[in-house]
């Protein structure tokens, strides 16, 4: 739809792009300029009145009105009046006035009365970047049935939304039907813009070998969800359009095997995988050597020697890949994609693109996202969810307090005698006067004095990766900040203690809990808090699914901004509740025909 220059300018001023978005700037109140024959105290009202007297003092003007529509005398008061205001009130004049009426002990007054002319109407009041009168005129001229229909909105939704801007009656609050219409428009507008951001490119290769023969060589059986995700990727790799897919799997859901299956299916050509840390890259490299014995695999980090990479089928590395001469590749994968900036991810893709052709692109994340968010994401990227794990984790979770410390110590000693490891997560590295919990610096002395093989690391520790490797092989107790949230696999780790747990988001707590019981050990997660009770933490310890926890997190902390990619928390939606409105998202997806572009329904 071609917009006039005036409409474009007004849209820019309002920070919107469409008539659908204009309809979402709903009135904050209404002026009801219909004449009533009954006085309504504590409400704004129209009166048909004759001015009987006017008295001007230093800071106010007081007017006595005789009100004809309910035969009553009331006192009008203008506080700190502007000079022009007194000219609106002349003794003997009969006119229409509008203001808020208050009644006390039979005496009625109207504060800030103003003369009005558009009698018999309900006039919406807007809070926006435009002046209220300009906004009113703009809405009247442009928020039409046809303009909204041209943008693809359904008739019943348009009817409901237009009632707010052109009301025949004033409704108190939003009824469910109207609120659902606003949610629909908000999601429709948002997902439509999101889908426009998706660009389709030709790919270098659409050859893909079947993974089933490879899967039979594995010493375990892939889960149904792993197979479904691999099938999604197989379909992607067989197309002549460059794939763009996000694979989201809970901690321990077996994303590594999906990565290896993707590299195997693409074996006729070359695959590149970028991981956020040397430890993770190293682990993936070792797994690839183990499960892809016929592939030529190489590891690229800041510490590996520079060598030509042309002879390798599968190149696995850290961000060091971005500073190497990379050979032509038809599949690019990024693990823990949220740990890299958008710029870094795009850079890797560009390094192996040629002309207008792009490689297939898969991004993996171990941070479960709410199902509703995953469905919205499908407007601009294909999404696969892996919600189950290859084996059932057995982790006991418990909220503990100061009085439980003695029992905790006993548990830690017992686990160490079983050759298991313990992780203690502290909120800060150094002492803080604001925080009522010990820091790593304050706590480490106690643990080092009472236990052997204690290792310490944190985010600013340049040697953290070496510390984690040493701990994995030789340690009993690891003291750290949330730096260990994602990364190294610690097969002997059975217990995690999170100090000041109420300070962390539920998804972060889940990631930390996911560090334990990676190989089927009996696991324990203790949430240490000084709070007497926390409904949020109690809900967490009774929930094991990362996707359920992501939904809980939404309820406690609103979701970030997908379209602009800036906010991590805070809510970009005015009306939509991401934790509750999955059915409306489904409806919008269907109406925008986004289901056909995605395997996630």
List the domain range (segments joined by +) for residue 343: 202-386
Q: Are residues 226 and 365 in the same domain?
A: yes
- DSSP character at residue 403: G
Q: For the segment 169-225, what is each residue's pLDDT rounded down to a tens digit?
A: 887 788 899 999 999 999 999 989 888 887 888 887 788 899 999 999 999 999 999
Q: Are residues 314 and 377 in the same domain?
A: yes
Give the integer Cα–Cα distance in Å for 246 and 243: 10
- CATH number of the domain that 78 lies in? 2.40.50.140
318 within domain boundaries: yes
270 token code pair: 């070359």
Choose one of 353, 386, 419: the last residue of a domain.
386
Choose one of 543, 562, 588: the last residue of a domain.
543
- CATH number of the domain that 485 lies in? 3.40.50.300
240 token code pair: 């002549």
Q: For the segment 365-420, what is each residue's pLDDT rounded down to a tens digit?
A: 887 777 777 788 887 888 898 988 777 778 999 999 999 999 999 999 999 999 99
Q: Does the pLDDT at position 560 exceed 80?
A: no
Proportion of the chain in helix, strand, coil states, percent, rounded to 5: 35, 20, 40
Helices and strands: H and E segment counts in the chain:
19, 22
587 within domain boundaries: no
> Comparing 88-97, 369-378, 479-488, 587-596, which segment has the lowest mean pLDDT?
479-488
524 token code pair: 């324990």
| Residue spans of beta strands (DSSP E) within 226-374 | 244-249, 271-274, 297-300, 314-317, 331-334, 357-358, 360-365
Q: Are residues 246 and 279 in the same domain?
A: yes
CB 384 within 8 Å of CB 232:
yes
Task: Provide the Cα torsion 375, 378, 383, 386; round to 10°.
Answer: 0
% of residues, the chain, pLDDT over 90: 49
Q: Are residues 350 and 408 in the same domain?
A: no
Give the integer Cα–Cα distance in Å for 269 and 328: 9
Q: For the segment 90-122, what is each residue's pLDDT rounded down to a tens digit?
A: 999 999 999 999 988 878 899 999 998 889 889
Q: Residue 561: which pLDDT band, with cuts at 50, 70 and 90?
A: very low
CA-CA-CA-CA torsion sign (405, 411, 416, 419): negative
Mean pLDDT of the region 24-39: 90
CB 329 within 8 Å of CB 292:
no
Residue with token string 């590395």: 317
For the chain, what is the domain count? 4
Q: What pLDDT does 14 receive?
A: 93
Q: What pLDDT does 211 receive?
A: 95
According to DSSP, the residues that pair with 96 across neighbouring strands are: 48
CB 50 within 8 Å of CB 93:
yes
Give the integer Cα–Cα distance in Å for 269 and 314: 9
Mean pLDDT of the region 490-507: 91
CB 78 within 8 Å of CB 113:
yes
Q: Mean pLDDT over all residues of the chain?
A: 87
The pTM (predicted TM-score) of the whole model is 0.72
Q: Are residues 376 and 523 in the same domain?
A: no
Q: Are residues 443 and 509 in the same domain?
A: yes
Helical segments of 368-455, H only: 371-377, 405-417, 440-450
- Give the Å distances, CA to CA, from 87 to 59, 81, 253, 301, 591: 16, 11, 76, 80, 56
Q: Are residues 21 and 41 in the same domain?
A: no
């Amino acid at each position: 739809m071609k917009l006039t220059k005036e409409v474009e300018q007004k849209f820019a001023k309002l920070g919107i792009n469409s008539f659908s978005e204009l309809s979402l700037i709903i009135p904050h109140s209404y002026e009801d300029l219909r004449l009533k024959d009954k006085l309504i105290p504590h409400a704004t009202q129209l009166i048909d009145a004759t001015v009987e007297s006017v008295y001007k003092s230093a800071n106010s003007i007081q007017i006595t009105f005789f009100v004809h529509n309910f035969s009553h005398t009331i006192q009008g008061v203008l506080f700190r009046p502007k000079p022009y205001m007194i000219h609106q009130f002349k003794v003997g004049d009969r006119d229409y006035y509008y203001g808020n009426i208050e009644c006390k002990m039979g005496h009625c007054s109207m504060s800030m009365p103003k003369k009005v002319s558009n009698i018999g109407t309900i006039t919406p009041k807007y809070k926006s970047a435009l002046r209220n009168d300009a906004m009113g005129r703009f809405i009247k001229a442009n928020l039409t049935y046809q303009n909204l229909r041209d943008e693809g909105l359904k008739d019943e939704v348009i009817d409901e939304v237009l009632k707010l801007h052109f009301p025949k009656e004033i409704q108190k609050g939003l009824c469910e039907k109207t609120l659902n219409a606003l949610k629909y428009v908000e999601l429709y507008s948002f997902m439509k813009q999101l889908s426009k951001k998706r660009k389709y490119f030709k790919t270098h290769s659409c050859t893909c070998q079947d993974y089933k023969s490879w899967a039979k060589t594995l010493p375990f059986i892939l889960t149904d969800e792993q197979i479904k995700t691999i099938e999604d990727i197989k379909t992607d790799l067989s197309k002549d359009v460059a794939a763009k897919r996000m694979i989201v799997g809970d901690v321990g859901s077996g994303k590594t095997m999906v990565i290896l299956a993707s590299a195997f299916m693409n074996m006729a050509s070359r695959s590149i995988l970028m991981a956020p840390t040397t430890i993770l890259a190293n682990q993936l490299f070792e797994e690839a050597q183990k499960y892809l014995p016929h592939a030529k695999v190489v590891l690229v980090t800041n510490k590996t020697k520079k060598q030509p990479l042309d002879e390798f089928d599968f190149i696995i590395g850290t961000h060091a890949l971005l500073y190497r001469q990379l050979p032509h590749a038809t599949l690019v994968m990024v693990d823990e994609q949220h740990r890299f900036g958008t710029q870094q991810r795009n850079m890797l893709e560009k390094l192996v693109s040629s002309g207008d052709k792009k490689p297939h692109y898969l991004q993996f994340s171990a941070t479960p996202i709410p199902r509703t968010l995953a469905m919205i994401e499908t407007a601009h990227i294909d999404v696969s969810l892996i919600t189950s794990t290859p084996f059932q984790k057995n982790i006991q979770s418990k909220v503990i307090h100061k009085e439980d410390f003695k029992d905790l110590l006993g548990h830690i000693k017992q686990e160490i005698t079983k050759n298991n490891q313990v992780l203690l997560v502290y909120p800060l590295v150094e002492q803080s006067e604001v925080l009522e919990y010990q820091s790593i610096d304050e706590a480490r002395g106690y643990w080092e004095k009472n236990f052997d093989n204690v290792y310490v690391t944190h985010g600013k520790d340049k040697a953290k990766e070496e510390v984690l490797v040493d701990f994995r092989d030789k340690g009993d107790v690891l003291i750290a900040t949330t730096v260990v949230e994602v990364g190294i696999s610690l097969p002997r780790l059975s217990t995690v203690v999170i100090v000041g747990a109420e300070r962390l988001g539920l998804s972060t707590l889940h990631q930390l809990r996911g560090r334990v019981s990676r190989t089927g050990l009996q696991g324990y997660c203790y949430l240490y808090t000084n709070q007497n009770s926390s409904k949020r933490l109690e809900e967490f310890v009774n929930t094991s699914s990362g996707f359920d926890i992501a939904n809980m997190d939404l309820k406690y902390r609103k979701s970030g901004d997908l379209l602009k990619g800036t906010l991590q928390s805070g809510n970009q939606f005015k009306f939509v509740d991401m934790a509750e409105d999955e059915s409306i998202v489904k409806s919008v997806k269907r109406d925008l025909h986004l289901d056909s572009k995605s395997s996630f329904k």
